[in-house]
Amino acid sequence: MCGIVGIVGKQPVAGRLVDALRRLEYRGYDSAGVATIHEGRMDRRRAEGKLFNLEKKLDAEPLPGNVGIAHTRWATHGIPNEANAHPHFVDGVAVVHNGIIENFSELKDELQREGAEFQSQTDTEVVAHLLAQYTRQGLDHRAAMLAMLNRISGAYALVVMFEDEPGTMLAARSGPPLAIGHGRGEMFLGSDAIALSPFTNEITYLVDGDCAILTHDAAEIIDFDGKPVKRRSQISQAAAFMVDKGNHRHFMEKEIYEQPEIISHALSHYIDFAAHTVKANDTAIDFAKLSGLAISACGTAYLSGLVGKYWFERYARLPVEIDVASEFRYRELPLSPSQAALFISQSGETADTLASLRYCKDNGLKIGAVVNVSESTIARESDAIFPILAGPEIGVASTKAFTCQLAVLAALAIGAGRARGTLMADDEKAMVKHLAEMPRIMSRVLNEVQPQIEALSRELSRFKDVLYLGRGTSYPLALEGALKLKEISYIHAEGYAAGELKHGPIALIDENMPVIVIAPHDRFFEKTVSNMQEVAARGGRIIFITDEKGAAASKLPTMATIALPNVDEIIAPMIFSLPIQLLAYHTAVFMGTDVDQPRNLAKSVTVE
């Protein structure tokens, strides 16, 4: 979603602001803008589309100035055009915003009645008008900021500058993340530490209800009533993760191929490879004593949680309630403090997941966070952090974060099984050995299936609709396969539990809708093959993703059969994720879509 940067600097800032925006591109956006103050005058450049368009404008008409703010906008209120792009200017006030001002409509009516003229369709512009109004009424900038903050409601990270006070920048957070970067004689603001990493690694994260006042040398933090608050700065690891595509065409491709190495690293955090055991869980959550587990997340992270549910229930006999966070937060699910709650999030900033976390916290549950960004809000509000250690995921479509989430959940479920006495030491040992072998098998699969999948993707790119089927832990994979294909290739795709085929989707089967069946040779194999028979009998084309045993056992004609190595059930979801990711990736490449930044999508969804 929107990305924010601000610099109170000693050197020209426009170029640095655009560089920082580039590091926020992965969040998703459809227009961008920069504003600076130079010799007492504020000016801006804004452009629809990618940063490249903004840079062209800056080349033609450079923006001097040592103080400035910048923004990548992911449209919510108003189409992505130049007029709606941030920064918004009103009478010497400049504002950039991430989030949604929920009461903007009534505020806009009121401001218009008082004579304000709006230049955009955005909710953000009311913030600039309110600030200008309070300043005209004689309030100083800090007082105007507090007055404005007490009028608006919703979710926001805001950065504001005033033309007549260039040495000061104001910021506020209520929802979406915002971080202060401490430099030498320069201060910075950014949506995340990655944006600020070339400038500084000393970061202070604002929390909800914080207002910050930055000058060249200092940051003062107050609450919305003006009372001082103390926040500790920390040294961020983001710079260590500075990323490029290497020799890959897209970040997504790079992230797919990184998985064996990254998973091996992640597993070493949870597994004692010498003893073949899961390392003791010495966190705030004692799985042995739990009566149940609630899991919530969004999108791909939710689907990894769905696989986790199968594992926790089967191996640890621990009942799991799971729901997408946008439903979970409003379901008024009865919870008891004897349960724990697990929130899964790559970014650690997803608004619905965070709201669900707070609901569980209010109900007295211990909170665990399975997150990639250990400095994120979800991590900071949790009792126990289970890092997935995937490194920054830049491609909007999640790949390595998904398999790392699975690996961590597998280790947690095995550990929980041992703690609850439902898994014997020998079972644990056998499963851990399989996990230890997994990175090697992943490398092999990535190398072996790539040419076949690339060729198949060319065929798949001709279709308009695709159905994915799976049973057991392959059911969430079917959902993930469909999600991945639709989000980056824009081909309509649905995932179904194979057993549900007869209850509706079978009506769609014909030669125009390929059916991708995910079926390792496990205890559900025969049943899934029966579903394949039903598809074949109706002229459906089957893409069969199975293992060597499964390929040998099924005699059905297919459009393609992808035969992976035979692997144990505990690692099958991670191994079978690979062809699913590659299929979506290559199909999108054939379709010529923007693979890393698909249309309309944001990497970090910080509003409802």
DSSP secondary structure string for all residues of 99-129: EEETTHHHHHHHHHHTT----SS-STHHHHH
Smallest distance from the beta carbon of 251 to ligand F6R, in angstroms? Answer: 12
Give the strand pairing for 542-547 and 515-518: parallel
- In the complex with ligand F6R, which residue's Cβ is closer, 55 or 253? 253
The dihedral of CA 8, 9, 10, 15: what is its sign?
negative
Q: Quick one: which of 342, 345, 567, 583 has its CA closest to 473?
A: 567
Q: How far apart are the first and last CA of the chain?
A: 11
Catalytic residue among 57, 400, 484, 603: 603
Nearer to ligand F6R, 394 or 410 (CB): 394
Task: Indicate which single residue of 3, 68, 260, 299 sits in contact with ligand F6R (rule: CB under 6 A).
Answer: 299
Closest CB 604 distance from ligand F6R, rounded Å: 6
Of 160 and 378, CB closest to ligand F6R: 378
Do you find a cis peptide bond into 12, omega within 30 degrees of 0? no
The residue range among 163-171, 182-190, 339-347, 504-512 that interacts with ligand F6R, by the rule CB under 6 A, is 339-347
- 300 touches ligand F6R (CB under 6 A): yes
Residue 306 has which token pair?
């769905």
Residues from 364 through 403 that contact ligand F6R (CB under 6 A): 397-398
Q: Which residues contact 465 (CB under 8 A, 6 or more apart)?
A: 491, 492, 493, 494, 508, 512, 513
Interface size with ligand F6R, residues (CB under 6 A): 15
Which residues inside 481-510 make contact with ligand F6R, applying CB under 6 A? 483, 487
Residue with tokens 């990270």: 157
SS3 19: helix
Measured CA distances, 213 to 122, 125, 135, 166, 227 (Å): 25, 21, 16, 12, 13
- Catalytic site includes residue 603: yes
Residue with tokens 């995921």: 393
Q: Binding residue for ligand F6R (CB under 6 A) from 133, 347, 356, 377?
A: 347
Q: Quick check: is 360 catalytic? A: no
Residue 534's SS3 state is: helix
Q: Which stretch binds ligand F6R (CB under 6 A): 139-147, 287-295, 299-307, 573-581?
A: 299-307
Cβ pair 528, 470 in contact under 8 A? yes
Asked if residue 597 binds ligand F6R (CB under 6 A), the reply is no
| 345 sits near ligand F6R (criterion: CB under 6 A) | yes
Q: Which of 72, 204, 353, 581 binds ligand F6R (CB under 6 A)?
A: 353
From the list 89-97, 103-111, 172-180, 298-306, the region that binds ligand F6R by CB under 6 A is 298-306
CB of 218 to ligand F6R, least distance (A): 32
Minimum distance, C-beta of residue 536 to ligand F6R, in the bound complex (Å):
31
Residue 298 in the binding site for ligand F6R (CB under 6 A) = yes
Whole-angstrom Cα distance, residue 402 to residue 257? 13
Instruction: Please list the active-site residues.
Output: 2, 603
Q: Which residues bind ligand F6R (CB under 6 A)?
A: 298-301, 345-347, 350, 353, 397-398, 483, 487, 604-605
